[in-house]
Structure 1
Amino acid sequence: MTSGLREAARRKGSFLHALKAVAWSFFGVRKNSEYEKDVNRLNPLHVIVAGLLAAAVFVAGLVLLVKWVVGSGVAA
């Protein structure tokens, strides 16, 4: 099992491809053929980092949206 993990970590998929795959996963829209390509192409470490980054941006966006709505008086 460890050798399979090492092989996956040596994949040459770019970080930009990982960000794109994570973005599509946030929307929940993905073709099965594209998913299969990603599984064979992407570096798992890139996907983890991209996922954490996307989650942080999402949460920050929600916090800013709530602050804006509360500050504008719309929520009162």
Structure 2
Amino acid sequence: MDKNLDKAPRSFGATMLAVAWSFIGLRRRSDFERDVGALRPAYVLAGALIAAACFIGLLLAAVRVATS
């Protein structure tokens, strides 16, 4: 694979996928190393905030179901 293609900026969707895998702890080291220079920091921050909001919403929904 061409090294220049590996460092091409990733799209928001690809960044969200990388954040999702990292968020649950199932990211392969080789994928992480490939993405280190290719992920846009603004996309990573936005993806992390979206993932955290979804996680908190899921926890709140689980608590509401458990206590009703």
TM-score, with length taken from structure 1:
0.73
Larger-gyration structure (1/2) = 1
Looking at structure 2, the residues matched to 19 and 52 of structure 1 have their Cα atoms a distance apart, in angstroms, of 11
Deviation sequence 1:15-72 (CA, Å, 0-9, x none): 111111111112112221100111121111000000000000000110011001111x
Give distance in 1, aligned partners of 2:20 and 2:9.
Answer: 19
Amino acid at match of 1:67: R
Cα deviation, residue 12, structure 1: 2.8
Q: Hey, which bits of structure 1, 4+ residues long, moved more than 6 A?
A: none
Moved more, 37-46 or 51-60: 37-46
- Tell me which residue corresponds to 1:68: 65
Once the two structures are superposed, the pairs formed by residues 1-76 of structure 1 within 5 Å of their partners are 12-71=9-68
Q: What is the SS of the residue equivalent to 1:30?
A: coil
The aligned amino acid for 2:28 is K
Unaligned stretches of 5+ residues in structure 1: 1-10, 72-76
More helix by share: 1
1: CA distance between counterparts of 2:25 and 2:13? 18
Question: Percent identity, aligned pairs only?
Answer: 39
